[in-house]
Amino acid sequence: FRRVLFRSLQFGSVPVGQLQMQAVLVRNQTDTAVQLEALPLDPTGPFSLLSALPMLPPHGAQELQVRFLPTTEFTFEEHLVVCAAGTTLRAALQGRGVAPTLEVRGEQAEDGKTEKELPVVEIGAAETTLLHLGDCLVGDEARAAVDILNTSQFALRLLLPSLASGHASLGPLPPLDVSPTEATVGAGKRLRVHARFAPDHAGEDFFELLKVEVPGLEPEGGQTIMLRGRAWACSPYVLTDRKSVV
């Protein structure tokens, strides 16, 4: 086993809460087996070794898997120190945690230049984007769409879980739903989310509150979308005084 100079492991910018792996190859160039040992990394930090260090056979090699999992927006640096047979090997670990950013926008037109305006309303102390699907007869459907724009410099995996809902259907299907509920959105790209309102009974309090969630981030805060709709049993009409009919 001889002295080897590790290059620094540059993890670059990684979204907070997401995992990135890199490997370091260690080779035993002696005729005897050696046991690898390492100084412990900061247990509260973002860097860690994924498995126990092995015994290297004569002229054997082993990859050490290093994990970087940032939990805050910060630039991190630490040193991996591996020892064997009186030789100390060092590797600088560097990475930056970056918070993802996204926006809920109105549906973009085909020309890519204009988009529908969506109101923002307050629910409690938080703001949410409102997508109102309007009035609908029982048994009919209403559809609308909203865009989620990934303004980060990296791809994001998004989930759309439900936080709260209003009237439920009498049948097995929900009155309000969206598609997709999970997707990966490229940097600077839009995700078109399609919403459907299909009531099976009349009511004015149909709603669904959705959270735009990035897995791995703290659940507090973040963007939300409120879907709303009203359902009627029949269409209104106006009766005219018979005397006024010619």
**pLDDT, tens digit, 9 for 90 and up, residues 92-121:** 999 999 988 899 999 888 777 778 889 999
Residue 214 has pLDDT above 80, yes or no: yes
% pLDDT > 70, the chain: 91
pLDDT at 136 over 80: yes
pLDDT at 24: 86
Q: What is the mean pLDDT of the chain?
A: 88
Phi and psi, residue 230, nearest 5° = -125, 140
The percentage of residues in the chain with a pLDDT greater than 90, rounded to a whole number, is: 57
Residue 129 neighbours by CB distance under 10 Å: 21
Please report, as a single letter, which amino acid is at residue 226: M
> Is residue 86 pLDDT above 80, yes or no?
no
Q: Determine the pLDDT at residue 237.
A: 64
- Strand 176-179's sheet: what is its strand order? 102-106, 142-150, 190-197, 176-179
Selected residue with higher pLDDT from 42 and 218: 42
The pLDDT of residue 100 is 85
Q: Do residues 228 and 164 lie in contact, with contact meaning Cβ atoms separated by under 8 Å? A: no
